[in-house]
């Protein structure tokens, strides 16, 4: 059975020690001038804070900075993960100031879908290697989910330039997740290797090739 093509950004699953993700998040502030952010969007520090100076600011991730974490909740209050005035709020539109709950622990493992690359599918040999997000922006205003996927095409980059920010840990072990040279939209487990709070752990010397 072919895999369902349902990009949803990065979904927190568990910690590196094997325990399930416990829902822990930290609140950040998105200024009105910044981009739309969806559930599952990778985000980065924006170098500022809210008006009170108590909550660090963020923006959508890019290939020019380490990843801070992944957005999972949206609110108008820095002390609430959800917006009690709108329980269906599931993304932050562009040009809208909002507080965002972020999974920012460097030890969290995420599930993410590979894109349907034009030249190669990811292989078993890619496990342990570095890989980039095919895109960081974009998402559904209906579901609130990010459209981000990992880039399954050949990708020769290193974390020194922040272009290969994730490390592949393995295929998601599920019966509905087909893996192989002809399988599109395979779901993978990854960790953020180029992390804003663990920059000393990134490998800036080696060059990795993914999807070769």
Residue 164 has pLDDT above 80, yes or no: yes
* Measured distance CA(166)–CA(185) in Å, rounded: 17
Tell me the pLDDT of the chain averaged across its residues: 85
* Measured distance CA(122)–CA(157) in Å, rounded: 16
**Residue-wise pLDDT tens digits, 120-139:** 788 888 898 888 888 778 89
* Measured distance CA(106)–CA(67) in Å, rounded: 10
**Residue-wise pLDDT tens digits, 45-67:** 999 999 999 999 999 998 778 99
**Residue-wise pLDDT tens digits, 95-121:** 999 999 999 999 999 999 998 765 678
Whether the full predicted model's pTM is greater than 0.85, yes or no, is yes
């Amino acid at each position: 059975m072919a895999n369902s093509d349902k990009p949803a950004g990065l979904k927190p699953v568990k910690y590196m020690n094997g325990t399930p993700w416990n829902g822990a998040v930290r609140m950040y502030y998105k200024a009105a001038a910044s981009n739309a952010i969806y559930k599952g969007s990778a985000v980065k520090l924006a170098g500022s804070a809210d008006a009170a100076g108590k909550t660090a600011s963020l923006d959508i991730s890019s290939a020019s900075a380490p990843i801070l974490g992944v957005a999972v909740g949206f609110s108008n209050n820095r002390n609430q993960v959800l917006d009690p005035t709108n329980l269906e709020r599931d993304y932050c539109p562009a040009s809208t100031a909002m507080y965002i709950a972020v999974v920012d622990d460097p030890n969290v493992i995420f599930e993410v879908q590979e894109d349907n690359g034009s030249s190669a599918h990811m292989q078993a040999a890619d496990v342990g290697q570095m890989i980039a997000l095919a895109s960081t922006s974009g998402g559904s205003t209906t579901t609130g989910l990010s459209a981000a996927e990992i880039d399954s095409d050949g990708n020769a980059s290193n974390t020194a330039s922040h272009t290969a920010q994730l490390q592949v840990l393995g295929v998601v072990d599920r019966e509905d997740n087909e893996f192989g040279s002809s399988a599109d939209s395979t779901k993978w487990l990854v960790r953020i290797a180029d992390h804003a709070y663990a920059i000393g752990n990134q490998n800036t010397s080696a060059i990795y090739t993914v999807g070769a």
